[in-house]
Chains A and B, each alone.
Chain A
C-alpha cells in the first residue's frame, strides 16, 4: 500500500479538489500570484486575502530522480521517478510520472505534462502523464 496523505484543516480544500478530479491551488488577491503548498497567508506579502483557484493541470517536468530502492508500496514499480513539476501557474510540486517508461530516455526535462489522479485510500493524489496522453 502506497503512503497516503492525511489532510489538515489548511490543506483540506486541496484534497477535496483532488477527490473531485481538480487540481486546486491558492492565489493571493493583492499580489495576483499563485502559491503552493496550501497555507493561510501569502508567502510574498504576508496577507490573508487568499483564495482557491482551479489550476489548468498543465505542467512541465522540472527535475527528477529515478529511485532504485523502492519505498513501501512501490515494490512493483521500481525503478520509478520521483519528480518535481512546474505548473502553468508557476508553482512547483512533487509527484510521480505515469503513462511513460520511467527511464532517462523517456523523461526529458521540460517535457509537457498533464495532471491525472490516483486513489489512495480516502484521498486522491495528483500524478502527471505526458500531455499527449499515455504512451
Chain B
C-alpha cells in the first residue's frame, strides 16, 4: 500500500491575524486542504491534531465522524508524528483518509490555551526557578557548549539567519523579507546571549492542514511518503545527554532514511525546524548531511542559500517566514510545495525532500522523507 499526501494547504494568510480564533485557523486550513485535494468532509474518516482544541472538537466543528483519532501533542514536531501515525493507521485498515490540522493564534492569543506549568511539574521544580522565560532562554542554552566544542563562531551563527532571509526575500507571504547582513544580526537586540533578536524565531498566527491517504484514493498528483521516524529525548533541556547533538534528530533521521532507503545524495531539498539559529546547524549534522562541527561553515559558504547545493528552509523558516509556536506543519507544507513545483522560491528539479521537526527544547523529533515519484 502506497501512502501519500493528497492535499496540503495553509490558512489564507499567516502572520498577524487578531480577527481569527484558534478554531477558525484550524477550520480555514482544513477547508483549504480539502479543496486542494478535491475532497469533501465525507471523504475523511480519520483526524489528527494537537492540543487546543484537539481532534474531537475539530472533527465535530467540521462535521466529520472519525473512525480514528490521534491527539499526539509533542510540541512543534507533532504534525510530523501525525503523518507517520496516519500512514500506519491507513496501512492497518483503521481508516482510509486522514485530515491533519494545525491552527494557532500564537501571536494574538485568540481562543488560545493558557501558557505555563505548575510549580510541582518537572519544569517548575528544576528549571523555572532559575528565571527561564520560555524557549528564548532555554532552547538556546546548548549553543555555547556547541560553540566551545566545535569552534562555531558568533558570525557563523548569525549566517543562519542571513541565509534564510535570502529565501524569504522571494516569498511574499514571509513576515520579514528585507535582506540582512551578519552585522545586522549581531547588532540586533540581545535576547539571551549569545542569541540576538534576529537569531530567534517569529511569533505569528496561522494554520495548515494535510490529507494523508493511499495513492489510489488521491485525486491530484500526490506527494509520496517514502519514510518516517520519530524519537524523544528529555522533557527538560538540562537533562539532554549531550548539548552538542540531538539524540532525537539522529534517531528519527536514521529511521526515516532507512525506511525510505535513500542516501544523502538523493536529497534535493531540506526543511529543518528553526526556532533558533543553532537548530538548523544541529539538524544538518545530526541528519548526517555534514560532519560534526562543519555545519556553521557549510551555511556560511552559501551551500544552503539560493543557488546552493542543499537548499534549506526555503520558505524563510521560523526565523523569517512564520512561527505560530508549533512550526512543524509549515515545514511540511513547504516540502510539499517544492515537490509540486509550486513554491514561492522554487528550487529546480526537487524530487526528494526531507523534513526534520523539533518539539519542545530538543525534547521530541520526527523526520519525513517525501518525494514526487516512487523510486
CA distance A4 to B105 in the complex (A): 30
Q: Are B238's CB and A94's CB within 8 A?
A: yes
Q: Are A65's CB and B126's CB within 8 A?
A: no
Shortest Cβ distance from residue B203 to the other chain A in the assembled complex, whole angstroms: 13
Q: Which residues of A contact B237 (CB under 8 A)?
A: 84
Shortest Cβ distance from residue B126 to the other chain A in the assembled complex, whole angstroms: 5
Q: Are A37's CB and B141's CB within 8 A?
A: no
Q: Does A66 contact B (CB under 8 A)?
A: yes
The interface bits of chain A over 93-115 (1 if a CB of B lies within 8 angstroms of the residue's CB, else 0) are 11110000000100001000000
Q: Are A3's CB and B128's CB within 8 A?
A: yes
User: Within A53-69, which residues are at the interface with B (CB < 8 Å)?
Assistant: 62-69
CB closest residue in chain A, given B193: A66
Q: Are A64's CB and B141's CB within 8 A?
A: yes
Shortest Cβ distance from residue A119 to the other chain B in the assembled complex, whole angstroms: 12
Q: Taking each of A3, A8, A73, A80, which has the highest tally of chain B beta carbons within 10 Å of its own beta carbon?
A: A3
CA distance A77 to B127 in the complex (A): 17
Q: Which residues of A contact B236 (CB under 8 A)?
A: 37, 94
Q: Does A71 contact B (CB under 8 A)?
A: yes
Q: Which residues of B contact A5 (CB under 8 A)?
A: 119-120, 124-126, 128-129
CB closest residue in chain B, given A109: B148
CA distance A108 to B142 in the complex (A): 14
Q: Does A49 contact B (CB under 8 A)?
A: no
Q: A62-B243, A109-B148 are in contact. Are A6 and B141 (CB under 8 A)?
A: no
Q: Which residues of A contact B239 (CB under 8 A)?
A: 36-37, 92
CA distance A7 to B121 in the complex (A): 9
CB closest residue in chain B, given A2: B129
User: Within A1-58, which residues are at the interface with B (CB < 8 Å)?
Assistant: 2-8, 11, 36-37
Q: A6-B120, A94-B130 are in contact. Are A62 and B145 (CB under 8 A)?
A: yes
Q: Are B119's CB and A84's CB within 8 A?
A: no
Q: How many residues of chain A get a CB closer than 8 Å to chain B's CBs? A: 37
Q: Are B126's CB and A94's CB within 8 A?
A: yes
Shortest Cβ distance from residue B192 to the other chain A in the assembled complex, whole angstroms: 4
Shortest Cβ distance from residue B152 to the other chain A in the assembled complex, whole angstroms: 13
Q: Are B131's CB and A109's CB within 8 A?
A: no
Q: Are B119's CB and A4's CB within 8 A?
A: yes
CB closest residue in chain B, given A80: B131
CA distance A69 to B119 in the complex (A): 21
Q: Are A65's CB and B129's CB within 8 A?
A: no
A-B contact pairs, 25 of them (CB 8 A): A2-B131, A4-B129, A5-B128, A37-B236, A37-B239, A63-B141, A63-B143, A65-B193, A65-B195, A66-B193, A67-B133, A71-B128, A73-B131, A77-B131, A79-B193, A82-B132, A82-B192, A83-B141, A84-B141, A92-B238, A96-B131, A104-B193, A109-B145, A109-B148, A125-B129
- Top 10 nearest A-B pairs (CB, nearest first) are A63-B145, A66-B193, A5-B125, A6-B119, A6-B120, A65-B192, A94-B238, A71-B131, A74-B131, A67-B137
> Residues on B close to A: CB < 8 A?
118-120, 122, 124-133, 136-138, 140-145, 148, 189-195, 236-239, 243
Q: What 14 additional pairs, Cβ within 8 angstroms, besides A36-B239, A82-B130?
A: A5-B126, A63-B145, A65-B140, A65-B194, A66-B190, A67-B192, A68-B193, A71-B132, A77-B131, A82-B131, A82-B132, A82-B192, A83-B141, A94-B238
